[in-house]
Structures are given as C-alpha cells and as structure tokens.
C-alpha cells in the first residue's frame, strides 16, 4: 500500500478589512496633501528617534492610501511604498484608538502567510501607533519593526505613541501652513498664525530632542547623550593635557530586589540612585547617565585615577547610607584616560574593573590598571 503524499497547505494572505468610514477617512488624508511629497528632515528625525528608543532596525511613518501604503519617512527600508493588502498598518488603522503590537508575526494567523513575513524584510515584530487627524480618523501609523520576535517595554510604547502624536501634529501644522500660505497676501492675521505654528513646532521638536537624550525613568542622560559627552571630554583632555576618568556603577544584586519586592520597588531604587548620582555629579549634561538596566556611568573630568577612585569611594559610602528603605550597595569600576585612548577603550577598562569589583565580593571600588 503506497504512502499518501501530503498536500502542502495553501498559503493565503488575510487581507485587512476596510474601515466603515473609509470614504471620509480617505478624503481626510487627501486634504493633508502629503502623499508623494519629498522627504523632510523633521519626519526623518522622528523615525530615527523611534528606532533608537525602541532599539529596532526599521521605523516608518506610513500613510494608507486607496490601494497602497506610502512611506513619508522610513529608516531601514529601501522601498517607498507597498501594497495595502499586505500592509500591517492597514490592519492597525481598524482600531485607531489602540497601538497594535504583533510580538511574533509567524504565530499570528493574520500575518504568518504574509510575504513581508516570509520574505524581505522578514517581519517578526511590529508595533504601530495610529496617526490621527484632528477629526480622529486614522491616516496611517507610526510603526517600528524588527526581524526577531520581541515586545516593547512600557516606556518604549509610551515614547512610540508620543512620537506618533508628534508626527500627526506636524502633518496638521503643515496642512494649516499650506492653507495660510494661500491667504497670507490678503490677511496679515494669517501671517501671525503661521509664525505661531512654526514656533510651536520648533518648541515641540526641541522637546523631542531633549527626550531622545534622556532616560525616562530617572531623568538622567541616556547612553546616547553620555557617548557624546565622553567624546567631547576626551578631545578636551587631549587638547589641554588634563586628566579624565570614567566610572561604571552597578547596583549589587538588583535582580533580587525586583524578585523579592517587585519591579515598582526596583524602579524606585533606580530613581533614588539616579537622584543621588545627579546631585554628586552636578548639573552639566552628560556627566552622569543611566547606561542600561541597573548600570550607571560617571564622567570625572579633571580627576586623576587616584582622585577618581577616592571620589567613587565616597559615592559608594553615600549609597550605602542613603535612606532608600532597602539595603542597597553598589560596585564601581574606574578607569583613567590613557594617551591615545578612545571612548571605547576607556569604557572597556572601566567595565573590566567593575567586574573585578564584583568578583572581589561587591560593594567596593576597583581601579583599572
């Protein structure tokens, strides 16, 4: 008896539905006159910020047209548009009040047979926050994409939604600006309105720049801002012949704090340590930063290796005595700048000194040789 040959499952793309108010939605999008316009730095900056905050290779401002999705701004994609029938974003606009998150597209029946999943760009993770017009109708999404299954942290999701609102405001400001330009010769009031909108946009963009350089939990500089500060400090120290050191600070047994007391208590400890480090480092941007997780970094300009180590000893003692409500200690690795050394080498030595402090029993300072 012959063995039956299995019949391969026919792949079928589940097409997105069409919103009940599609005619009005499309008319709203057309009124913005943004489809097929050239790239603009303001939108490009937003997708760059989204990719950095969410740690993804692809970020896109997508508009859903009649039969296509068109990209106003994109990072990590070569194409300018795609078919609406296969667009994740066409699904996302069906629930315009929610951010759609697909943790693993291969396990989602809507997308597992999608050519964007089974071919380039091999989408696994997708998160899309709808771009809403002033009448509440969705024009598209601000989305981030990865080729590996994952999720967004709460602060990353909040940032994506904030960036989506900013992109929507930018589109609205441009729409209003376009209308104002048509009437500016007849009415001087419109000229004042245009100036007001431009000033508002500049202020919002300045706020976004600040957000992209700041850790949302502790209010300290983030890794990106610290990297810029270290590069500038190394240039200055090399030029002026002055000493420079950095310190890497790690909370001892932080996982135990989260496991025993909960993540909310862990966040409170991070905030308390961030405030103490900020007070110790002074107000200058980039001198102290949250580098990731429970790890912080300090920029110690003008200090020799011995002076930097002593400063960190005082800091270690201050952390142990701080009224955090929990027994919190830190381990610290310190490295002083060598001639010709770059930021990568300097940080690597400080990090190695930190791990030596951990091996030696934690709650101590170690100076890199």
Q: What is the largest CA-CA distance in the chain?
A: 90
Residues counted in the chain = 369
SS3 state of residue 193: helix
| Annotated catalytic residue, options 40, 98, 210, 294 | 294
Pairing outcome for strands 330-336 and 365-367: parallel
Residue 127, φ and ψ in degrees, nearest 5? -140, 125
Beta bridge partners of 131: 140
Dist. CA 353–CA 245, nearest whole Å: 13
Helical spans, DSSP H, in 93-187: 115-118, 154-183
Dist. CA 295–CA 318, nearest whole Å: 17
Find how far residue 37's CA is from the centre of its chain.
Answer: 26
Active site residue 98: no
Pairing outcome for strands 81-83 and 330-336: unpaired
Find how far residue 35's CA is from the centre of its chain.
Answer: 26
What residues contact 79, with CB distance under 8 A and at least 6 apart? 71
Residue carrying structure tokens 């600040």: 210
SS3 state of residue 334: strand
Nearest to 15, CA basis, from 110, 108, 147, 80: 110
Find how far residue 167's CA is from the centre of its chain.
Answer: 15
Which class for 137: exposed (0-12), middle (13-18), buried (19 or more C-beta within 10 A)?
A: buried
Beta bridge partners of 82: 69
Residue carrying structure tokens 């939108």: 43
Pairing outcome for strands 288-292 and 138-146: unpaired
Tokens for 214? 């700041």
Q: Which residues are catalytic?
A: 294
């Amino acid at each position: 008896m012959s063995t039956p040959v299995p019949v391969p499952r026919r792949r079928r793309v589940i097409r997105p539905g069409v919103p009940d108010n599609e005619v009005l939605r499309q008319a709203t999008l057309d009124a913005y006159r943004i489809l097929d316009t050239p790239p603009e730095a303001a939108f490009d900056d937003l997708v760059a910020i989204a990719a950095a905050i969410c740690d993804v290779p692809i970020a896109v401002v997508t508009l859903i047209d009649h039969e296509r999705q068109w990209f106003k701004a994109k990072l990590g994609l070569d194409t300018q548009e795609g078919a609406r029938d296969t667009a994740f974003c066409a699904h996302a606009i069906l629930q315009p009040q929610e951010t759609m998150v697909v943790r693993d597209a291969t396990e989602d029946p809507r997308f597992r047979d999608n050519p964007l999943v089974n071919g380039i760009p091999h989408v696994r993770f997708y998160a899309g926050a709808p771009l809403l017009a002033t009448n509440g109708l969705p024009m598209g999404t601000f989305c981030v994409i990865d080729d590996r299954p994952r999720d967004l942290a709460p602060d990353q999701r909040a940032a994506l939604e904030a960036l989506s609102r900013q992109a929507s405001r930018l589109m609205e400001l441009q729409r209003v600006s376009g209308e104002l330009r048509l009437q500016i010769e007849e009415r001087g009031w419109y000229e004042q309105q245009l100036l007001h909108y431009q000033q508002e946009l500049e202020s919002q963009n300045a706020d976004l720049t600040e957000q992209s350089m700041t850790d949302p939990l502790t209010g300290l500089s983030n890794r990106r801002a610290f990297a810029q500060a270290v590069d500038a400090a190394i240039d200055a120290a090399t030029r002026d012949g002055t000493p420079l050191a950095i310190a890497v600070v790690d909370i001892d047994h932080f996982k135990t704090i989260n496991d025993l007391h909960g993540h909310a208590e862990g966040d409170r400890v991070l905030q308390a340590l961030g405030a103490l480090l900020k007070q110790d480092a002074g107000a200058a941007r980039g001198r102290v930063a949250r580098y990731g997780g429970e790890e912080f970094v300090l920029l110690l300009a003008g200090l020799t290796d011995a002076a930097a180590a002593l400063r960190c000893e005082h800091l270690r003692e201050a952390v142990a005595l701080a009224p955090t409500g929990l027994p919190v200690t830190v381990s610290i690795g310190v490295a002083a700048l060598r001639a010709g050394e770059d930021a990568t080498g300097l940080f690597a030595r400080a990090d190695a000194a930190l791990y030596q402090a951990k091996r030696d029993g934690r709650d101590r300072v170690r100076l890199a040789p």
